[in-house]
Amino acid sequence: MEDRRKLKILMDLEKLNTLNEEGCLACGGKFTLGEEAVLARGKWEGFKYIHEDEAFFDKKTNQHYERRYYLNSRR
Ligand SMILES: [Zn+2]
């Protein structure tokens, strides 16, 4: 429970400046102030911040995944 909360961040100006160079890799859009983002695995290397509603939390591995990536990888 505690771990899960730690993974979620709220976008402030500092984070926007850093993360919007790449933007959200799940939808290709940018983050906006006050949005929630989580560190997730996807078709990219390692973990990246994506919008929380584009992520799926897998209880087995205790990690967030980009939804489409997660569904495809389970086929
Ligand atoms: Zn997104």
pTM for the complete prediction?
0.87
Q: Report how far ligand 1's centroid is from the alpha carbon of 68 (Å).
A: 12
- Rounded Cα distance between 75 and 23, Å, is 28
- pLDDT, one tens digit per residue, over 13-63 is 999 999 999 999 999 999 999 999 999 999 999 999 999 999 999 999 999
Around Cβ 20, how many Cβ atoms within 10 Å?
A: 14
Q: Residue 2 corresponds to which tokens in the numbers above?
A: 């505690």
pLDDT digits (tens, 9 = 90+) for 27-37: 999 999 999 99
Helix (H, G, I), strand (E, B) or coil at 47: strand
* 13 Cα–ligand 1 center, Å: 17
User: 35 CA to middle of ligand 1, Å?
Assistant: 10
Q: How far apart are CA 10 and CA 26, in angstroms?
A: 17
Per-residue model confidence as pLDDT tens digits over 64-74 = 999 999 999 87
CA of 2 to the centre of ligand 1 (A): 24
Q: How far is the CA of 30 from the centre of ligand 1 (A)?
A: 7
